[in-house]
């Protein structure tokens, strides 16, 4: 009997900690206590559940804004939150995808520890108000059970017309797939070589690059989105579907272009007095290396890059891994593109510039370097700038 009472008391204490003390410590709003409790029950059942506190940041205030948070991690949209503008706490999945060694400093000593790697999370955040709207993809790795995510959402004025009224629907969200657009000849990568050396892309597992996503606000009562009206909605990690090495050697430099399959979706967001359609255009797969542009490689490493050395005694082959994320999230390449949905339908078109970025939250891309003949006892290589990852491996004989 006493043991049952002790168990009941322990349960009460645990729930109190979960719903009151822990939320306060981590800055979680009390309104989210129900999410915390249901997550706790799933956690007790061994489910890989985590939490994300989503903090949308707007360039200026808007009145009576509706906020929507959609999970695109699995590729299929799942609405995690719909309601008034706030910083909601949402449930996410913390799925382990392996382990990796990490260097840490503890008590003044440097050592390596094994840490669990988790599948990156992709959220799509939409803000809809009377005259403004905005949308942004955000990707992060849920290394901790509770992750705080700041999302800078741009706002665009569109002056919602009387025809787009809510008619008492309340907070509702409905997402439907429209189809796919193939963006042709997107510039994604550059390979280097020097005499006696071959470089090639070594794509493995779900190696990926980051490419632009786009969004657009449209009429609720039909009408096509404007081909030139798309707004950038954040970089989205895009994996490779077509696996090819694309080797370059003996002083050639190759710029690699690819066809990229984009998915088009229509999300209707209803809240307060209005409903708004948000068209979303985001990359699904890099499907095919469509064009290779060949030139002469300078055979030297730019002075702003950090050099590594591969010695002759270390063998004739080595791999250069890229970080799974980068401090330099700037634009890598820009490509002008015009494309439409399907073959001849023309219901949704895009005309603009697609950027690739020096960052990704997916699996690492790597370059294989093969030395066919040595021109000295060392080969310099430089995959990184002083600011981050460039997805290129410059080479120079020493």
Quick one: pLDDT at residue 65? Answer: 94
* Residue in 62, 335, 349, 59 with CA at minimum distance from that of residue 230: 349
Model confidence at 130, pLDDT cuts 50, 70, 90, reads: confident
Question: pLDDT tens digits, residue range 42-71?
Answer: 666 667 789 999 999 999 999 889 999 999
Selected residue with higher pLDDT from 275 and 363: 275
Model confidence at 7, pLDDT cuts 50, 70, 90, reads: very low
Question: pLDDT tens digits, residue range 177-193?
Answer: 999 999 999 999 899 99
How far is 88 from 151, CA to CA, in rounded Å?
A: 12
Quick one: pLDDT at residue 28? Answer: 46
Query: In the β-sheet with 66-71, what is the strand arrangement from edge to edge?
Result: 78-84, 66-71, 121-128, 132-140, 156-157
pLDDT greater than 50 at residue 358: yes
Quick one: pLDDT at residue 195? Answer: 97
How far is 328 from 305, CA to CA, in rounded Å?
A: 13
Model confidence at 134, pLDDT cuts 50, 70, 90, reads: very high
In the predicted model, what is the mean pLDDT of residues 361-371? 81
Selected residue with higher pLDDT from 336 and 271: 336
Give 167-172 contacts, CB < 8 A, sequence gap 24+.
Answer: 169/270, 169/275, 170/270, 170/271, 171/66, 171/82, 171/83, 171/84, 171/270, 171/271, 172/82, 172/268, 172/269, 172/270, 172/271, 172/275
How far is 281 from 216, CA to CA, in rounded Å?
A: 9
Q: How far is CA 214 from CA 54, 68, 100, 186, 232, in A?
A: 21, 17, 33, 15, 4
Quick one: pLDDT at residue 26? Answer: 43
pLDDT greater than 80 at residue 278: yes
Q: Which sequence spans correspond to the domains of the chain?
A: 23-159, 184-260+283-398
Note whether 119 and 130 are within 8 A (CB): no
Q: How far is CA 343 from CA 96, 181, 347, in A?
A: 40, 9, 10
Q: The whole model's pTM is what?
A: 0.85
Retrieve residue 34's tokens: 């129900």
Place of tokens 């493995």: 204
Question: pLDDT tens digits, residue range 340-354?
Answer: 987 555 679 999 999
Selected residue with higher pLDDT from 241 and 313: 313
Model confidence at 20, pLDDT cuts 50, 70, 90, reads: very low
Question: pLDDT tens digits, residue range 82-129?
Answer: 999 999 999 999 988 888 777 777 787 778 788 888 999 999 999 999
On average, the pLDDT of the chain sits at 83
Q: Is 7 helix (H, G, I), strand (E, B) or coil?
A: helix
CA angle 117, 141, 358 (to 5 degrees): 105
Selected residue with higher pLDDT from 218 and 164: 218
Quick one: pLDDT at residue 16? Answer: 40
Model confidence at 21, pLDDT cuts 50, 70, 90, reads: very low
> How large a percentage of the chain has pLDDT more than 90?
54
Is 23-159 CATH 2.60.40? yes
Model confidence at 17, pLDDT cuts 50, 70, 90, reads: very low
């Amino acid at each position: 009997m006493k043991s049952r009472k002790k168990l009941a008391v322990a349960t009460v204490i645990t729930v109190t900690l979960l719903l009151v003390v822990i939320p306060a410590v981590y800055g979680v709003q009390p309104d989210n206590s129900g999410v915390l409790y249901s997550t706790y029950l799933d956690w007790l059942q061994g489910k890989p559940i985590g939490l994300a506190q989503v903090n949308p940041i707007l360039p200026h205030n808007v009145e009576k804004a509706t906020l929507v948070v959609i999970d695109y991690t699995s590729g299929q949209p799942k609405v995690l939150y719909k309601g008034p503008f706030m910083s909601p706490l949402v449930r996410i999945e913390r799925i382990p995808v392996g382990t990796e060694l990490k260097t840490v400093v503890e008590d003044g000593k440097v050592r390596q520890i094994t840490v669990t790697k988790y599948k990156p999370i992709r959220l799509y955040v939409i803000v809809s108000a009377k005259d403004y709207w905005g949308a942004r993809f955000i990707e992060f790795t849920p290394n901790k059970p509770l992750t705080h995510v700041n999302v800078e959402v741009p706002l665009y004025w569109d002056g919602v017309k009387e025809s787009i009224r809510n008619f008492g629907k309340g907070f509702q969200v409905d997402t439907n797939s429209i189809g796919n657009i193939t963006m042709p000849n997107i510039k994604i990568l550059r390979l280097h070589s020097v005499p006696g050396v071959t470089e090639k892309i070594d794509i493995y597992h779900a190696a990926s690059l980051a490419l632009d996503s786009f969004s657009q606000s449209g009429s609720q009562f039909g009408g096509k989105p404007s081909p030139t009206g798309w707004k950038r909605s954040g970089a989205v990690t895009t994996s490779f579907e077509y696996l090819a090495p694309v080797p370059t050697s003996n002083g050639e430099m190759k710029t690699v272009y690819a066809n990229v399959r984009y998915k088009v979706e229509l999300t209707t967001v209803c809240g307060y007095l209005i409903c708004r359609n948000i068209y979303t255009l985001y990359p699904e797969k890099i499907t095919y290396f469509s064009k290779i542009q060949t030139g002469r490689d300078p055979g030297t490493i730019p002075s702003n890059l950090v050099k590594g050395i591969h010695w002759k005694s270390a063998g004739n082959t080595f791999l250069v891994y890229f970080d799974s994320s980068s401090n330099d999230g700037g634009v890598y390449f820009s490509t002008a593109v015009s494309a439409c949905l399907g073959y001849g339908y023309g219901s949704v078109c895009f005309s603009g510039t697609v950027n690739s970025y020096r960052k990704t939250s997916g699996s690492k891309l790597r370059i294989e370097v093969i030395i066919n003949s040595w021109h000295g006892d060392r080969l310099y290589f430089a995959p990184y700038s002083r600011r981050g990852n460039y997805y290129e491996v410059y080479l120079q004989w020493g």
